[in-house]
A and B are shown apart, each in its own frame.
Chain A
Amino acid sequence: MSAEIHSGHAAHDHDGMAHGEITLAGYLTGFGLSIVLTAIPFWLVMSGALGDKQVTALVVMAFAAVQIVVHMIYFLHLNTTSEGGWTMMALIFTIVMVVIAMTGSLWVMHHLNINMMPAHQMGAMQ
């Protein structure tokens, strides 16, 4: 450890978000995809075309996941290189946190609901 520690600053570069690359084609592609990815789930639920509710729910959630990715790429211009990759790192960290919070809450509370039987059912079991 010596004064040499600072030598890395010369290479320290601040490149902004990659907003230089925004194009009309990119926005229109994202918009077109979003319309399709929004219209299909609404149609599926409103018409009940798939019949089974469980299947419809899964398909609708899959469409939402794809649409979120489309918005991230075409509207938020997310990529792995902007800000030296830190935007992507922050996003991955957030996704991990969100998944833990969501699945954890739903899982714990679901089991709580199952195990905490209403009092009258408890009485019937005794």
Chain B
Amino acid sequence: MTVNVKPIQTGQPLFYVVDEHDHAEGGSTMLGFWIYLMSDCLIFAILFATYGVLGGNYAAGPAPKDLFDLPLVAVNTSMLLMSSITYGFAMLSMQRSRIAATQFWLAVTGLFGLAFVGIELSEFRHMIHEGATPQRSAFLSSFFTLVGTHGMHVSFGLVWLVTLMTQVWRFGLIEANKRRLMCLSMFWHFLDVVWIGVFTFVYLLGMLR
């Protein structure tokens, strides 16, 4: 630790921190990552607000009723929900330091996540095939931006998941890897929270319009 070079004379004010106190490695990671998630939340808030403003401007094009397939969205929602609980199982296995079980549940989580992204992409493909492209109307521009940004997050989460599985495979459940898995856990559950907003405001309320 830093040693105070200048001896402090009594009564003289000191306006800087002389002795930096000790931080354990990664001690502030969890709070820092939570702050990141909150900033991410603001991005989604802006995209939701944009969709809320523009979601009714169809420009004589297709409306949510013509495009959305609720049973498919329900399947997609359950995929994400299943991946959330399997990630929870991975965290419980991690807590008990069982590497094989952790890896297994992470892999299952990854497969559910992959199914989610796959279903979403096929939905997009179907919509674009019908002429409902992002350029068609303000409703579709804001729809693809909002849902696409969420899908991108899940896709990057999958890349992160595979990276961490490789890390655990090579180095085991060391402290650093546990910390990383906890961060991804927060990221993954956070995306599930955002999806609640998406299926409610975009799909369910869209069908009611």
A residues adjacent to B (C-beta < 8 A): 1-3, 5-6, 9, 12, 14, 16-17, 19, 22-24, 27-28, 30-31, 34-35, 38, 41-42, 45-46, 53, 56-57, 60-61, 63-64, 67-68, 71-72, 75-76, 82-83, 86-87, 90-91, 93-94, 97-98, 101-102, 105-106, 109
Partner of A3, one of B14, B38, B200, B204: B14
Number of B interface residues, CB 8 Å? 58
Q: Is B74 an interface residue when CB atoms closer than 8 A count as contact?
A: yes
Across the interface, name the chain A residue whose C-beta is closest to B89.
Answer: A27
Q: Are A87 and B53 in contact (CB under 8 A)?
A: no
**Given that A2-B11, A24-B92 are contacting pairs, would A94 and B42 also be in contact in the complex, using a CB cutoff of 8 Å?**
yes
Question: Closest Cβ of chain A: how far from B74's Cβ, in Å?
Answer: 5
Q: Are B42 and A97 in contact (CB under 8 A)?
A: yes
**Given that A1-B14, A2-B13 are contacting pairs, would A60 and B42 also be in contact in the complex, using a CB cutoff of 8 Å?**
no
Q: Is B205 an interface residue when CB atoms closer than 8 A count as contact?
A: yes
Q: Is B197 an interface residue when CB atoms closer than 8 A count as contact?
A: yes
Q: Are A101 and B45 in contact (CB under 8 A)?
A: yes
Give complex CA distance A89, B140 in Å.
Answer: 35
